[in-house]
Structures are given as structure tokens and as C-alpha cells.
Structure 1
Amino acid sequence: MPKSKIDVVFVLPSLVAGGAERVMSLVAKNLNTKDFKTTLVVIGYEREKAYNVDGLHVIYLNQPRVVKGIPKLYKFISKNKPDVVVSCMSHLNTALALILLRFPKIKLINREANIKKVTALYYGSQKSFFGNVLKKIADKRTNAIICQSQDMADELITELNVPKSKVTVINNPISDAFKLASNKKNDEIKKYITVGRLHEEKGHLRLLNVLSKLETPFKYLIIGTGEWEDNIKKHITELDLEAQVEFVEYTDQIPQYLEYSDLFLQGSYAEGFPNALLESCAIGTAVIAFNAPGGTNEIVEHGVNGYLAKNEKEFLEYLKKLNENPLDSKKVSDSVFTKFKKDKIVKQFEDLIKQVFQK
């Protein structure tokens, strides 16, 4: 007699504010209950959670790091023996794959969060020989890999020799908090915004270079925290932009900040799939981004919801253009909801889980 529901467990290192945490908790919470029995296992602590998981069965292992949580994670899997495990972030993916060597009937789906060559460049994440051996073993044990963007999938297949049959592209969904807003603007002083970690990879310095050449009044809000903060503030001082730039740490008021902004600016040298840029479009606030590896070019439709720039000079030209002729906010919003609305993306996850389970 066939099982009535697929027992699927999502595993995350924590529920702190972050793109992977938001997407995975949202998908887990919204899988249909007719076909799936869903559990979210979090290595970290409930007190750290930044996302609403009401109505979802959540188990916190209350450990500070993934490596510390492995014994409890092994015990949970050994006791519950789910049909499918869905993991995210490479160190957790590897740990789960190694655990599941003991449980060959359990299927494993891993979600990739980054483009590997960019991670190695900016974070020095080259693995040791032993680490590479573990990764190869883990890749063989993995039944399917979810990539956020086509660029990410292409890298895995062509450069890291992952079998194409294992790779699926599923973009990130728009969460319920981001919907077309009234977009109340101040025409006299333009308001720009960037949301994301303060890190070299995110390209804040080149955005500031562009803004320093702008001759019209503006205010620029940077939301985020990170180790690059001092470098960014130093560059602001060098460019004499202190009066125009403001910093805000992580906040749950991002939808409101995006609504009252005229443009979202993205300086990244690479992205997995830029959630903040997607969310800005969802609200109706157009974007300008540098054309970089990752999912940015799958979101930005040239002249519809924003522009992709090749360099700082072109970025400045698009900025001036949108200052004078803003894009229609409804068209900006519609352009992303057509492709990335929550129900559509969750359905893609459901289809993949069923496909992997039935193999």
C-alpha cells in the first residue's frame, strides 16, 4: 500500500536573518499538507529566529555550530527516518550527506547558496585535500541539487563536473511581506537604497563612486551589517558623502524602506540569487545593478523593472535616466510576480521532492 504522505525534513544551521534561511523556512512552511508531512530542523537556537514559522513543526537542536549539532542530527534522523531530507549551505550539505551514508533509503536534496569560484575569491574557501575528498563523497550521496540561478547550475555542471541529471534550477520565491505598494516618493530629493551584507563582494564602494558623480540631490540608505563596514565608511568620508549616506542594521521594516525609496542599487560582483533586489521589484521600486554572475540577469528586465550596467559610467547614465523618467511601479512589480510568485516556486520544490522520492 503506497504511503499517503512523503515525510520530508528541511535542515538549516539557524533561523537568523539571511536569504537561505528565509527561502527554506518559507518553502517548508508552505508545502501542501495533503502530500507532505513537513518538519524543519534547526541546528541553532529558537531565540535567534528572524522568520515566522508558525504552523510548521520546528525542532531546535540548540547548538552553536553545525559540527556541534551533528550528534543530535544523527540521532534525530536515526529515530525518525524521513523519506527525504532537504539541506542548504555547503558545510551542512556535506555533513548530512555523510550522515546519510548510514541510511541509504533516505533521499537527499541539497540547495546551493553560492557560486563557488566567487566564494573562493572573496572568502578564501579553498578546501583542504581531506575536505575535497569528503565533498566528493557527499556529492555522490546527494540525489539532487537545487541551484538558485542558471549561472550557478552551469558552474556545477561545466566546472565542477556534477552530473546534469542531478541539477535543477529553482529560483527564490517572493515572500508575502513584499507586495505592490503605493510608492510615495519625494520628487525633490531622490532616495536610493541597498540591502545586504557589508562585504567586499557586494560592491558598495563602486556604488559610492557612482553617487559621488551625481549632480542632483539624493539620500542613500545602506541596510545591513558586516566586516566591510569600516571600509565603506572610510570611502564615504573620502568622497565627502557623509551628509547623504545613512546606515541601518538589519530590520523587519525593509518593505517600508523599499516602498519609500526611488531606486534600489546593487553593486555586487556576484550573487547567488539577490533576494533584496527581487523584493524591491515586487514592491514596485525599480533597480539598477551591475551585470554580474548569479541570478541578477534572471530578475532584471532591461527597461521594464530596471537596468543592468556594464561599468560605473553606464550605471551613472542609467541612474540619471531613471531620475528623470521613472519606470511604472505596477509593471516593475508584475514583471517579477509573473516568474517568482510564492505558489509557483513552492510547487517546483514539491515536484522535485516527489520526483526524487519516487526514483
Structure 2
Amino acid sequence: MVSINSIHFERWTNQLQESGHEVHWFNVRDGGYSEKLSWVNQIVGWKFKFINNKARVFIKKRLPWLYNKLSVLIEKSTEKAFENALLEIQPDVVHSFVLYISCVPILPVMQKYPNIKWMYSSWGSDLFYFQNQAKYLNDIKQVLPRVNYMFADCKRDIDLAKAYGFDGQVLGVYPGGGGYPIDDYKAHISPLNQRKLILVKGYQGRSGRAITVLKALESLSVKLNTHPVIVFGADNEVEDFIMKRNLNSKLDLTVYPKSDFLPQMELIKLMGQALIYIGNSNSDGMPNTLLESIIMGAFPIQSNPGGATAEIIEHGKNGFLIEDCNNSSEIETLIDNALNNMELIQSACKYNQKTIMPSLDRATISKEVIAKYNSIIN
């Protein structure tokens, strides 16, 4: 495994814990040991040379220009460290997660050893967003012809990969972290007739468009007097917008800043209390929060960059698709339509939990994923 640490990587990798495979993880940015993957052989502590940690952090934070000049003296080569690990382990397959983070830095090594099988997982904006930047597109076109196998979190990215040179074997389309322990979640699913909450993903930054959603909710504020609104993962600019527009006086609003990390299980519980979930961005794959809202019975209103969300949401049947993530009037109309059509919300919930939820079960997906790994090795 070649990846940074993330909750999705941990969840995906833990699918293999009882598979009988020997799993090694090259922490590509050397982010430290993960207790959640204690069963994995973790290759950490490889990145920095003689300089002590406090001095390095001080220079990087206070004198970034100096750190950049001294980086050759401070940091070891990712390429060389990976090659050393590769030669020592002699793996059956190398699995990289996210192209620009975990494929590009090791590409020269994988080209040097063309007989070693290479697998790639595309997540989120990995291909869809970065194809629009010349440097990244060049990297994409260099990496994909060398890749032998591919997982993705949406069909859209399989098509993009093939367009940019991938001609290997597609192993499947699965959520980025594998499936979900649905039986553990069921106790937190509230009946629809007890739900009033509107839950909003608060990402802004490069791709998030939460402010557009907040503008729509502000316009609907008179109609939302019985509907509390919770914004989770709120970026700084989202918090600033809320303060400048004094939204707390117009909406029954609770905000969980991104800096105060909301544990996944707490978010799952909120999903199980939400009548409507809204996620809006200009670039994504298949959003994990969308899948969680489906499992937990919330009515999803989700942006549809590149058609990825439409792979699972049929507009007007089991959710609403936002086609213009920058159009607050469109989102306002969608929210208003949902609130005025309880029959649609009920039928969407029934359809999602009967038809889609079973396909997201962790036990089912794990068996399929392990079978895919086995098919490569045997």
C-alpha cells in the first residue's frame, strides 16, 4: 500500500485484516504510525535526515523559504526510500491511493521495475479536477499507461482513466473506504415523521460550495422556522459568511467547524436524525457523506460534477441533483420542493434503503474486494 493516512485509507485497508495477506504500508508523506492499522507493517520514520524535529518544524513554519532551500539536506528522497522498501519486500502488487499523492512520486521506480504489478485507487477529485491543470494532466498521462489494475469510487473516473491511457483491468467501483457496517448504524436511524433537521456539509475552499447552500437557506429562512440547520466540517470562510450575514438570527443554526473534528460516528448519528442532507461542490467523486445519508434515511440533495452523483441518484426519485453548484436559486428551489413533498421524501427513503443500502454493506464489499486481490495474486 502506498498512501497518506486518512480515515478512508484505514477503513479500506482494514478489509484485508483477516484475508491471510501480508500487508505493508509505505506512508508516502511519512505522517507517523497509525494505531488503527497496527496489524500492518508500517514504513514510517524514513523521511527526515539528521535535523531534529523541533528545529525542522520551526524552520518550516517560520522560515519556509529557508526550508525549501535546505529541503535536500533535511529530507530523504521519496523515490529512493520507496525503492529500498520495494526491493526488501518484493511485493506481489503495489497499490497506490490517489494519483498525484501516491502514484507520481513513485512512478520512476515503477517504470524501472515493469514486471511488478501496480494497482491504483481513484478517489474524489483525483482525476476529475486535476485533469484541468496542465502539470497534473501530464502526470496523469504518464502514470496511467503503467498502471495494471484500477479501483474507483465512481464509473466516471474509469472512463476518464481510459481516456488518459489506462488499458489495464478494472477491478470495480466501490466507496473509497470500502463498505459500511450497516448493522451497527441501524440503531441510529430515526423514523422520518420525527425528523426536522437539515444537515449541510460545510466545505468551501477549492471545491466545496457550502456558502451557496447557506444563501439558499437564508432565502428560505421564513419557511424554516421549524427546521433546525446543522453545518458540519465548516471551513473558515463559511464561518465568516455566517457571521457577516448574521445567519444565527435568521436560522436555528448549529455549526461544527472543520477545526473541531466531528467523529464519523457522531456524523452518522446526525444523518440518522436528518430529514434532508445537502452536499455541494464543483468537483468530487462519489461523496462518502452522500452514501452515509442514503444509509441513514436522509433525503439527499447533492451536486453532480461530471455526472458522478447521477450514478446513484435519479433526480426526483431518490434524491435531487444540483446541476449548477454556484446557483443558490436552484438549490433554494430544490430544498423548498423537498420540504413540500413529504411523499417524495418517504418514497426516496424506502427506495434507498431497500435498493441501494444493501450494496453498500461492508461485509459484502469486503468479500468482493478480497476476491479481486486474490485474483491478481493467484
TM-score normalized by the length of structure 2: 0.74
Secondary structure at 2:248 match in 1: coil
- Counterparts in 2 of 1:206 and 1:225: CA distance versus 1, 3 Å: closer
Secondary structure at 2:247 match in 1: coil
1:60 deviates by: 4.1
2:36 to 30, 42, 52: 52
Pair 1:211 & 2:224 matched: no
1:33 deviates by: 4.1
1:162 to 163, 166, 183: 166
> In structure 1, what is the equivalent of residue 23 of structure 2?
38
> What CA distance in whole angstroms lies between the structure 2 residues aligned with 1:186 and 1:171?
28
Larger Rg, first or second structure (1 or 2): 2
- What are the within-5 Å matches in structure 2 for residues 331-350 of structure 1? 331-350=351-370
- Counterparts in 2 of 1:346 and 1:294: CA distance versus 1, 3 Å: farther
- What are the within-5 Å matches in structure 2 for residues 84-103 of structure 1? 84-91=93-100, 92-103=102-113
- Counterparts in 2 of 1:265 and 1:68: CA distance versus 1, 3 Å: farther
> What CA distance in whole angstroms lies between the structure 2 residues aligned with 1:247 and 1:190?
17
More helix by share: 2
1:64 deviates by: 6.8
Q: Deviations over 1:154-210 (max 9, x none)?
A: 22223x2433x4445412133327623444489799322233643242211221122
| C-alpha RMSD of matched pairs (Å) | 3.3
Equivalent residues of 1:183, 1:260 under 8 A apart? yes
- Counterparts in 2 of 1:225 and 1:206: CA distance versus 1, 3 Å: closer
Equivalent residues of 1:180, 1:333 under 8 A apart? no
Equivalent residues of 2:145, 2:166 under 8 A apart? no
- Counterparts in 2 of 1:148 and 1:67: CA distance versus 1, 3 Å: farther
> In structure 2, what is the equivalent of residue 241 of structure 1?
247
1:296 deviates by: 1.5
> What CA distance in whole angstroms lies between the structure 1 residues aligned with 2:192 and 2:146?
55
Pair 1:12 & 2:3 matched: yes
2:127 to 116, 141, 159: 116
Secondary structure at 2:143 match in 1: helix
Pair 1:151 & 2:151 matched: no
> What CA distance in whole angstroms lies between the structure 1 residues aligned with 2:144 and 2:129?
20
For structure 1, the residue ranges without an aligned partner over 5 or more in a row are 1-9, 16-20
Equivalent residues of 2:121, 2:151 under 8 A apart? yes
Secondary structure at 1:224 match in 2: strand
* Count of residues paired in the alignment: 329
Pair 1:315 & 2:325 matched: no
- What are the within-5 Å matches in structure 2 for residues 214-225 of structure 1? 214=220, 215-217=223-225, 218-224=227-233
Secondary structure at 1:179 match in 2: helix
1:76 deviates by: 1.7
Equivalent residues of 2:25, 2:40 under 8 A apart? yes
Secondary structure at 1:198 match in 2: coil
1:83 deviates by: 0.4
> In structure 2, what is the equivalent of residue 61 of structure 1?
44
Equivalent residues of 2:97, 2:120 under 8 A apart? yes
Equivalent residues of 2:144, 2:165 under 8 A apart? no
For structure 2, the residue ranges without an aligned partner over 5 or more in a row are 49-74
> What CA distance in whole angstroms lies between the structure 2 residues aligned with 1:52 and 1:292?
32
- What are the within-5 Å matches in structure 2 for residues 72-83 of structure 1? 72-83=81-92
Q: Which amino acid aligns with 2:3?
A: L
1:126 deviates by: 3.1
Q: Deviations over 1:229-269 (max 9, x none)?
A: 22x33443555423434321321121122222221101122
Secondary structure at 1:41 match in 2: strand
TM-score normalized by the length of structure 1: 0.77
Q: Which amino acid aligns with 1:233?
A: E
1:69 deviates by: 4.1
1:105 deviates by: 3.3
Identity of aligned residues (%): 16
> In structure 2, what is the equivalent of residue 192 of structure 1?
198
Q: Which amino acid aligns with 1:23?
A: H
> What CA distance in whole angstroms lies between the structure 2 residues aligned with 1:11 and 1:287?
33
- What are the within-5 Å matches in structure 2 for residues 288-307 of structure 1? 288-293=301-306, 295-303=308-316, 305-307=318-320
> In structure 2, what is the equivalent of residue 3 of structure 1?
none
Q: Name which of structure 1's ranges 27-36 and 271-280 shifts more when overlaid on structure 2.
A: 27-36
> What CA distance in whole angstroms lies between the structure 2 residues aligned with 1:338 and 1:100?
37
Pair 1:276 & 2:260 matched: no
- Counterparts in 2 of 1:189 and 1:354: CA distance versus 1, 3 Å: closer
1:341 deviates by: 1.9
Equivalent residues of 2:293, 2:299 under 8 A apart? yes
> What CA distance in whole angstroms lies between the structure 2 residues aligned with 1:58 and 1:256?
33
Equivalent residues of 1:189, 1:219 under 8 A apart? no
1:99 deviates by: 1.8
Equivalent residues of 1:304, 1:335 under 8 A apart? no
Q: Deviations over 1:88-147 (max 9, x none)?
A: 1223112233223343332110112225352355xxx4317xx93x65443333212222
Q: Name which of structure 1's ranges 310-319 and 99-108 shifts more when overlaid on structure 2.
A: 310-319
> What CA distance in whole angstroms lies between the structure 2 residues aligned with 1:287 and 1:186?
14
> What CA distance in whole angstroms lies between the structure 2 residues aligned with 1:63 and 1:330?
50
> What CA distance in whole angstroms lies between the structure 2 residues aligned with 1:291 and 1:137?
28
Secondary structure at 1:72 match in 2: helix
- What are the within-5 Å matches in structure 2 for residues 123-142 of structure 1? 125-127=133-135, 132=138, 136-142=141-147
